[in-house]
């Protein structure tokens, strides 16, 4: 269970965030000021800290800088009611991983926390067999060079897709990355956030639906009928699932 530390002098915000994040499966601790925050950091070792910039005893930017000196791995998200870009830039410069402005939507907070956790999670290298049987990390690096599904062949090194009839199919680099993440996670529902973390070359925003257009484009390349896909299934309210059986190629 990942640990989240909320640092804010607003009791209502602490109650709201704590209740919501606990329901989402996190172990949540709260602090009203910098002194309490450092006590929790020492005792609980949180994975992500949501840190308000405006605190009564010390400003959040200074606290973030001290936290980063103590722990280079903990995720830090700055939270503020201001929309001043200077605060945002300074926050990132002192070591924050993300920035959130009040008022915010709870789902946005959750999406950003999960994004930080995925970026901070160590990548464990596994052998090819383990990766194909337990695709639990879409960022996983493997020695796989070639994958096959339903007569299709994908050369990961050459970044080439070959259709069952032997014709080479042209894909953009983004579409190929999308196909690769599906192939390494067959039978697993992937949320849009997970997919975007892997394929997006830019910073994306929560509720970014560009992944839907990417999926439609890829479907047109590999599906007989993109309106009734056999491989890339839509799981309503959750994301997408690659239903084909994937095997290792020569």
Per-residue pLDDT of the chain (250 residues; tens, 9 = 90+): 789 999 999 999 999 999 999 999 999 999 999 889 998 988 888 999 999 988 887 888 888 888 888 777 788 998 877 665 555 566 666 778 888 888 888 988 999 898 888 877 654 333 333 333 334 443 334 445 789 999 999 998 888 899 999 999 988 877 888 898 899 888 888 888 778 777 654 444 444 456 788 889 899 999 999 889 999 999 887 889 999 998 886 5
- The secondary structure element, H or E, covering residue 217 is helix 210-222
Q: Please name which of 233, 222, 216, 229 lies closest in space to residue 154, comparing C-alpha atoms.
A: 222
Position 152 scores a pLDDT of 94
CATH entry, 128-248, from 1.10.10.10, 1.10.274.10, 3.40.190.10, 3.30.70.360: 1.10.10.10
Position 133 scores a pLDDT of 39
Position 122 scores a pLDDT of 53
Where do the CATH 3.40.50.2300 domains begin and end in the chain? 3-120
Position 202 scores a pLDDT of 41
Q: Please name which of 16, 15, 18 lies closest in space to residue 4, comparing C-alpha atoms.
A: 18
**CA–CA separation, 82 vs 65, rounded Å?**
19
For the chain, the distance separating the N- and C-terminal CA atoms, rounded to the nearest angstrom, is 40
CATH entry, 3-120, from 3.40.50.1220, 3.30.390.50, 3.40.50.2300, 3.40.50.720: 3.40.50.2300
**CA–CA separation, 240 vs 250, rounded Å?**
28
């Amino acid at each position: 269970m990942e640990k989240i530390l909320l640092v804010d002098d607003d009791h209502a915000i602490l109650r709201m965030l704590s209740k919501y994040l606990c329901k989402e499966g996190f172990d949540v601790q709260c602090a009203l000021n910098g002194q309490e925050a450092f006590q929790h950091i020492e005792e609980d070792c949180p994975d992500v800290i949501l840190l308000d910039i405006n605190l009564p005893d010390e400003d959040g930017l200074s606290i973030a800088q001290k936290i980063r000196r103590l722990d280079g791995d903990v995720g830090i998200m700055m939270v503020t009611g201001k929309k001043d870009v200077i605060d945002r830039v300074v926050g990132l410069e002192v070591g924050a991983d993300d920035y959130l402005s009040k008022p915010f939507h709870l789902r946005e907070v959750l999406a950003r926390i999960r994004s930080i956790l995925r970026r901070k999670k160590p990548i464990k290298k596994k052998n090819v067999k383990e990766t194909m049987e337990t695709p639990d990390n879409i960022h996983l690096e493997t020695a796989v060079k070639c994958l096959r599904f339903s007569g299709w062949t994908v050369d990961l090194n050459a970044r080439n897709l070959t259709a069952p009839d032997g014709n080479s199919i042209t894909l953009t680099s983004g579409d190929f990355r999308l196909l690769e993440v599906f192939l390494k996670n067959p039978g697993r529902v992937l949320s849009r956030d997970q997919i975007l973390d892997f394929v997006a070359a830019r910073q994306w925003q929560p509720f970014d639906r560009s992944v839907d257009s990417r999926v439609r484009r890829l479907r047109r390349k590999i599906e007989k009928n993109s309106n009734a896909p056999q491989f890339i299934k839509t799981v309503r309210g959750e994301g997408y699932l690659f239903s084909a059986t994937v095997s290792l190629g020569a």
